[in-house]
Chains A and B, each alone.
Chain A
Amino acid sequence: MGIIRTERLVFEYIRRDEEGNVEGITRAVDEVDLDVRQGEFIAILGHNGSGKSTLAKHINAILYPTEGSVWVDGMNTKDDKDLWNIRQEAGMVFQNPDNQIIGQVVEEDVGFGPENMGVPTEEIWERVEESLKAVGMYQYRKFSPNKLSGGQKQRVSIAGVIAMHPKCIILDEPTAMLDPNGRREVVRAVRALNDVEGITVLLITHYMEEIIHADKVFVMDKGKIAMQGTPREIFSQVERLKQLRLDVPQVTLLAHELQKSGIGLPAGILTVEELTQALETVQKYRP
């Protein structure tokens, strides 16, 4: 069984009007089946309101399913006795960097998780050091979080989660509030965690450039999984992605447009090199 598994996961909430009367029920997550293996890099895409964040919060046992089940490393999130083990094994990074840093000094914030878990003092220091080094923020350990850039703050948040020694880490739109530099920093740090430390990564985003290196991509819409496959498989369906309020990197879009005009290019081009090579071939064998 995979490290994260959901079975027919449904989450509903009741909408109420101003007087508190029930207006209706919204199904934010609708029968989602996921099976993520240890060490995978999974990306979940979707427009705002597609249910992707709600899904993510189930894995950390912040929300509980209305129907169906979620297992993290074999533990059902409904079991109260496993709650803290689940939260330790499935670490979570949120969107707004300011609203998840608790400490007033970088190193103290990274130590917050281990402190809560009751890790002995000396080991906390070791964990803080290794986590900050893993995201390249060790030289900032004595800084106040207020003095850091958005990308740096998010890396501190990631270190704070790694210090809890999780098996997987769920990042809920960690780059949505960052500028391109910050986004690159964070994505690089996340990829390194996956490559070097072998931590399973679940990256939730709507920036297509960030998922090119994922092992598998899920696209969500209206609470359901609308598409799944490798990045190449996903990116080859430009029209479908547009329907789902998403877009593709410019290079993929250009390749798609050229294809529509009758140029014979392979589907799902992801990088500039791929496109230029393909075009070179086309030119060479031009009748």
Chain B
Amino acid sequence: MSIILDHVNYIYGSDTSLAVHALKDINLVIPDGQFIGLIGHTGSGKSTLVQHLNGLIKPTSGSIYFNGEDIHAQDYDKKKLRSKVGLVFQYPEHQLFEIDVFSDVCFGPRNLGLSRQETELRAYAALKQVGLEDDYFYQSPFDLSGGQKRRVAIAGVLAMKPEILVLDEPTAGLDPKGRDEILDQIAKLKEETGITVILVSHSMEDVARYVERIIVMNQGSVMFDDTPREVFKHYRELEEVGLAAPQVTYIMQALSKKGMPVKTDVTTIAEAKEEILRVLRGG
């Protein structure tokens, strides 16, 4: 049970002079149950990559396998794939359209041809999973706050019961608290259901706290693919391509340079605090 990308290439407008090589020879294995951060700046190919995962974009060359089956094989059921690989786009609240929140979340499961009862059960469960209270269920989605709208939109994808949830910049435009709330909710969902989560972001600081694996994209290629700890060791290279390690990495590097015997490979504030306290207290 996994997604495998095998030598995937994607070229935009290949028949014109303006051809762009958006993805270059991508080889990835995404096993079940991982929490992955996909990092890269705008134009690095990360959004293009995630659209390959549920077959919205067909690779120019190479293959993608979901649970061992080639998703671009002739008789492969794409609709089913899309229910298994749930993709939440950037600013997903811009896709809400129904008269009330509940109907909007029902859209996905209804498209799968499920019974009315099953559809509604799933919609209800999904709205609970994103932490939306019952009071909002029959309100127009357009009357909600930005953060709530986003939850509804994420529930719309969750209601399809995906095995893999891909979120493209789920915190864009939210304030710091709203950002933390959404990320915490996703982490909780991950823990409770064991679903595979791929979090697309351009902020290392946001994802470092949550994920167990970071894939860094640059100019259409995979630049790093490792645990956060290992990836942040390359903070200089990351900087060169316009990304940055979390600020704690820089703090620890600077301290180490000043001769303080701290470990430099910490990834979160809590770890940094422990480490500094250890050294200061002469541990």
Contacts and interface: CB of A to CB of B under 8 A. Distances in A.
Interface of A: 47-49, 149-150, 176-177, 179-182, 206, 208, 245-247, 249-251, 253-254, 257-258, 261, 263, 272-273, 275-276, 279-280, 282-283, 286
Given A254-B272, A282-B280, A283-B260, A47 B177 contact: yes
Contacts of A208: 176
Given A276-B251, A279-B260, A254 B269 contact: yes
Give the most central of B248, B260, B273: most A CB within 10 Å: B273
A176 B173 contact: yes
B255 interface: yes
Q: Is the interface of A mostly helix, strand, loop or mixed?
A: helix
Contact of A263 (B175, B258, B277): B277
Contacts of A276: 251, 254-255, 258
B73 interface: no
Given A149-B42, A276-B254, 4 more contacts: A249-B247, A250-B205, A257-B270, A280-B258
A194 B176 CA distance: 26
A12 B172 CA distance: 28
B175 A246 contact: yes
Contacts of A275: 251
B175 A47 contact: yes
A213 B120 CA distance: 52
Interface of B: 41-43, 145-147, 172-178, 180, 202-203, 205, 242-244, 246-248, 250-251, 254-255, 258, 260, 269-270, 272-273, 276-277, 279-280, 282
Given A250-B205, A272-B251, A206 B269 contact: no
A180 B203 CA distance: 8
A181 B242 contact: yes
B178 A286 contact: no
Contact of B177 (A245, A257, A258, A283): A245
Contacts of B270: 257
A245 B178 CA distance: 8
Contacts of B42: 149-150, 179, 181-182
A261 B279 CA distance: 13
Contacts of B147: 48
Contacts of B269: 250, 253-254, 257
Contacts of B255: 276, 279
Contacts of A257: 269-270, 273
29 contacts: A47-B176, A48-B174, A48-B178, A176-B173, A177-B173, A180-B244, A181-B41, A181-B42, A206-B175, A245-B175, A245-B176, A247-B176, A249-B247, A250-B246, A250-B247, A251-B247, A253-B269, A254-B251, A254-B276, A257-B270, A258-B273, A261-B277, A272-B251, A273-B254, A275-B251, A276-B251, A276-B254, A282-B280, A283-B260
B247 A272 contact: yes
Contacts of A279: 255, 260, 276, 280
Contacts of B145: 48-49
Nearest to B281: A286
Contacts of A283: 260, 279-280
A273 B258 CA distance: 11
A258 B260 CA distance: 16
A47 B178 contact: yes
Given A47-B178, A48-B174, A276-B258, A254 B248 contact: yes
A144 to B, nearest CB: 14
A189 B248 CA distance: 27
Contacts of A177: 172-173
A251 B176 contact: no
A164 to B, nearest CB: 28
Contacts of B146: 48
Nearest to A280: B258
A47 B269 CA distance: 23
Contacts of A261: 273, 277
A258 B247 contact: no
Nearest to B272: A254
Nearest to B241: A181
A33 B193 CA distance: 50
